[in-house]
Amino acid sequence: MLTGLAPRDHGIVGNGWYHRDTQEVRFWQQAASLIQAPKFYDDFETAKMFWWFNQSSGAKYSATPKPHYGCDGSKVFDIIDQTDCELTQTLGPFPFFSFWGPSAGLPSSRWIADASAIVIREKQPQLSLVYLPHLDYDFQRMSSHDPARVAEVDACAGTVIDAAQAIGAKVIAVSEYGLVPVSKPVHINRKLRRLDLLQVRDGPFGEMLIPGQCKAFAVADHQLAHVYVNDKDLIPEVRRQLESIDGISAVLNPGDVELDHPRSGELIALADADAWFTYYYWLDDNRAPDFARTVDIHRKPGYDPCELFITSKARAMSRLAQKKLGFRYKMDVIPLDAGLVKGSHGVHPANDDDGPLIIGPGDLPDDMRDFAKYARRLIT
């Protein structure tokens, strides 16, 4: 939406990917320099509020979540506020625990809406990009998508819209995807492991994936998985094996879906409409890596929507008590039950109403790659 280009051209092939040079899978990085193409907002005085790839984005005003990390492994939640509006002093601390994890919910979207309204009114930028995450949460937790959640985020949007109208700005509501009900987790890496294609290292913190020593492994991202095949001679056999897995609708060459970029896997697996990919690579939950039962979006070699659930509130309270008493602890409260997940996205939905949408003035584009051109036209 920001470049008007396909992933093969801008390089953002997923929410995370395998870095071949360091042999690491890294998810949810924030550096704007990862986008390998100009963004249309570069030409305007822009406020970029919680849109991703926001770090060093070049936007005149920006705010993005960014914890502080201590050398002892401790973490203090915070944001990077480059709006010159002293947002946390005005609104209080950003409610980080409602932005992601078992407590993810409405407070983060409310805070972002209030913060964005302040920036819009005080700075009056030419363009404001505001991300309200609320619908992402319960629509992955529940198969029934309650319109009450839409009403809640609509109220947040109203806060932003009121501010926009106060400065005479036009308003566009846009989503890059729509979540659909799912009921079938696909453990693609476990299949590859049983074929002796995936390598792990066992140790005191569980089994750790060793991507550089795998003949093939998958980076799971909702309903799409990049399959990296280090031994290129095995590509036909890996494709044949993946095509036999229940829940996989297609195994494609990257170019078939405009993902032919060096960051992409050698193969692209797409899930059935009611299925999604887990990153799980262990065969015994007792040997799962220690981070699997925690909210750890950067260490996991794939996306994990089970982070939206909790095994036990009592266990969480016990871990918090350990923290307050100064003991070493780990917040191991995330279940390993992929059957809990009820919503996902990534493949083209059968019904267009379940996909991306744009609500705005004038003639709307039919292709999301034309969003940048459409927004530019409204600004100028």
Give pLDDT, residue 322: 57
What are the CA-CA distances from residue 77 to residues 64, 80, 84, 136 (Å)?
Answer: 12, 10, 20, 21
**Tokens at residue 190, please?**
């476990």
* Interval 141-157 mean pLDDT: 94
- Smallest CA-to-CA distance from 270 within 292, 242, 250 is with 250
Query: Which of 124-128, 140-144, 202-206, 269-273 is least confident?
Result: 140-144
CA distance 8 to 37: 11
pLDDT, tens digit (0-9, with 9 covering 90-100), for 167-226: 999 999 999 899 999 999 999 999 999 999 999 999 999 999 999 999 999 999 999 999
Confidence of residue 33 (pLDDT cuts 50, 70, 90): very high
pLDDT at site 143? 86
Question: pTM of the predicted model, to two decimals?
Answer: 0.94
pLDDT for residue 325 is more than 50 = no
Partnered with residue 277 across adjacent β-strands are: 186
Q: Taking residues 80-93, what's their average pLDDT?
A: 97
Whether pLDDT at 358 is above 50: yes
Domains of the chain: 39-176+350-379 (no CATH), 184-344 (3.30.1360.110)
Segment 3-15, tens digit of pLDDT? 999 999 999 999 9
What is the distance between the alpha carbons of residues 193 and 263, in angstroms, rounded to a whole number? 22
Task: Please answer whether residues 18 and 228 qualify as being in contact, where contact means their C-beta atoms are separated by less than 8 angstroms.
Answer: yes
